[in-house]
């Protein structure tokens, strides 16, 4: 069986991709109001009917008085959506000094609730920033849970909103994301492993060593250390500042690939059939000589520019830093990672950031470089989404048997 999926605030499609990679879900539709991300989504999900990928506001689409979307909503009802996924943008979660109902940005999560209420799926997965739990003294989190309970989605006592660590699920990146998982009230939520069991240890930086700490699971077996930056990107074509192209050939070094690189270079999951394996979106920005010299003398793991603490040089022996949106173009060091090798003194490319986010190499990003960088940075790491999708599918598979 395949479960039917609807992706809200889909962006470039990180969550959709994670579910797609399990081969257990079929994406029925997707909605986002940012055109560059949606162009990327359409290109990489050709099996989703193009008329079901909407460049619109989620709130507008599920406003039943708005007859413009009658056909789309009727399709969803006919399909009987099983799962709704998505991440309302975190910018709308800042509520300092305001009552919850006074901030119009709350429509971001309320529109997700509205869509769930309309489609009545078996379950939903909503993603956001970990800070949401403490926003407004925890009142926003309480309001979200209350809104879902009011439309018949509960069981939150048995699977509370949970912060997951990306590196524990095979993503070569130190990234924390918050996930809400809810089930329709007629669905038995007991048949579920939540949170998903990790495939790797947690990354702890202590005296330049990686230590594994088991905090979520008592019965966990010995697991490998997290995937590091070297294991993630060392096989990519070497570039200097200003070099690269939107399409490149792989270097002839297949014998030295890490297990992660073998997975990320697997084109069997590419929905665009008969496409020859290439390296996409691997272009280095043009830096000044002053910046190049500064990158060369900076130690791995340290900031290249003291003004920007986000501008760190990757440590090849550790997972990458959180991939941020923005800052892809020009000479700006703000919110940029830098390559660990002195022979490649430059900022990270879109493809390298995509590798750190666990996007497979066949996933092609459209738009300007800045748009592409934001699409990568805003996405849920596909391997993290895949772990959630796998755990969720096993639950429904057990229900069927």
- Residues involved in catalysis: 90
343 upstream amide cis, omega within 30 of 0: no
The backbone region for 327, taken as left when phi is positive above 0, alpha when psi lies in -120 to 50, beta otherwise, is: left
What is the separation of C-alpha 236 from the centre of its chain, rounded to a whole number of angstroms? 22
Indicate the helix (H) or strand (E) that contains 171: none
- C-alpha 330/C-alpha 340 separation (Å) is 20
CA angle 45, 51, 54 (to 5 degrees): 80
- C-alpha 96/C-alpha 47 separation (Å) is 42
Helices (H), 125-165: 139-150
Buried b (16+ CB within 10 A) or exposed e, 280-307: bbbbbbebeeebeebbeebebbebbbee
CB-based contacts of 208, cutoff 8 Å, min separation 6: none
Indicate the helix (H) or strand (E) that contains 154: strand 153-154
DSSP 280-323: EEEEPPP--HHHHHHHHHSPTTSEEETTEEEEEBP-TTSPBPPP
The backbone region for 78, taken as left when phi is positive above 0, alpha when psi lies in -120 to 50, beta otherwise, is: alpha
**Nearest partner of 318 among 130, 171, 169, judged by Cα:** 171
What is the CB-side half-sphere exposure of residue 170 using CA atoms within 13 A? 21
């Amino acid at each position: 069986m395949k479960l039917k999926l609807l992706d809200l605030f889909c962006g470039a499609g990180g969550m959709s991709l994670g579910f797609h990679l399990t081969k257990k879900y079929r994406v029925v539709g997707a909605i986002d109001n940012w055109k560059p991300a949606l162009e990327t989504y359409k290109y990489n999900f050709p099996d989703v009917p193009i008329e079901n990928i909407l460049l619109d506001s989620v709130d507008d689409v599920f406003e039943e008085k708005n007859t413009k979307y009658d056909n789309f909503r009727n399709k969803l009802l006919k399909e009987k959506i099983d799962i709704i996924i998505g991440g309302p943008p975190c910018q709308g979660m800042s509520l300092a000094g305001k009552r919850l109902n006074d901030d119009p940005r709350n429509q971001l999560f309320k529109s997700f609730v509205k869509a769930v209420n309309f489609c009545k799926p078996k379950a939903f997965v909503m993603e956001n920033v970990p800070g949401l739990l403490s926003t407004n003294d925890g009142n926003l989190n309480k309001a979200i849970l209350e809104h879902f309970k009011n439309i018949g989605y509960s069981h939150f006592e048995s699977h509370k909103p949970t912060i997951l660590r990306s590196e524990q699920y095979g993503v070569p990146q130190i990234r924390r994301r918050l996930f809400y998982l809810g089930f329709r009230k007629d669905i038995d939520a007991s048949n579920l492993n939540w949170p998903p069991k990790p495939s790797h240890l947690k990354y702890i930086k202590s005296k330049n060593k990686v230590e594994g700490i088991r905090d979520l699971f008592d019965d966990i077996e010995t697991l490998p250390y997290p995937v590091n930056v070297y294991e993630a990107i060392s096989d990519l074509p070497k570039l200097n500042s200003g070099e690269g192209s939107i399409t490149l050939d792989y270097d002839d070094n297949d014998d030295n690939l890490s297990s992660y690189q073998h997975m990320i270079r697997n084109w069997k999951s590419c929905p665009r059939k008969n496409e020859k394996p290439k390296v996409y979106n691997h272009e280095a920005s043009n830096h000044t000589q002053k910046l190049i010299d500064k990158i060369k003398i900076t130690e791995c793991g340290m900031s290249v520019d003291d003004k920007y603490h986000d501008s760190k040089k990757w440590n090849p022996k550790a997972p990458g830093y959180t991939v941020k949106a923005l800052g892809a173009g020009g000479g700006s060091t703000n919110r940029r990672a830098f390559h660990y090798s002195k022979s490649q003194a430059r900022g990270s490319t879109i493809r390298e950031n995509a590798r750190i986010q666990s996007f497979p190499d066949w996933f092609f990003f459209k738009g300007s470089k800045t748009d592409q960088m934001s699409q990568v940075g805003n996405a849920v790491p596909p391997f993290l989404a895949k772990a959630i999708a796998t755990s969720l599918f096993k639950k429904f598979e057990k229900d069927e048997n």
